Amino acid sequence: QQNQTSRKMQVYLSSSDLLTNSNTILKGAEDNGVGFILESNGSSVTLLNITDSSKGYTNLKEIAAKSKLTDTTVSIPITASYYVYDTNKVKSGALQATALINVMFDFVD
């Protein structure tokens, strides 16, 4: 049926650029004491650690099966902020980290 979902859909983020023992702080390749934190709707986003998928993640968007869609696009507001995680290592320079957008659909026969 048009404008209706056929499957349940969930959207979450994952990364291998996470600070050790944290699923909320993205760090760059260079250990300069500064990383990123992501927020959605005022709450910290927990990313799935690609190297250790057992720690969970924030479900950024969920659409139930058979839901009526009023628009052809789905928006998920995300804000990125700098985060100092080690004041002894802080230095200027470029900061780059990668987060993957994952869309998971329930399998339906």
Whether 13 and 103 have beta carbons less than 8 Å apart is answered as no
DSSP 3-state assignment of 87?
coil
How many other CB atoms are there within 10 angstroms of residue 26's CB atom? 25
Q: What is the mean pLDDT of the chain?
A: 88
The domain in which residue 36 lies consists of 9-105
Checking if the pLDDT of 47 tops 90, the result is yes
Task: Let me know if residue 48 belongs to a domain.
Answer: yes
Answer whether residue 107 shows pLDDT above 90.
no
- Domain count across the chain: 1
Q: Does 81 score more than 90 pLDDT?
A: yes
Q: Has residue 3 been placed in a domain? A: no
- CATH code: domain of residue 93: 2.60.40
Residue with tokens 């998920």: 76
Select the more confidently predicted residue: 3 or 84: 84
Q: Assess contact for 98 and 18: CB atoms under 8 A.
A: no
pLDDT of residue 63: 86
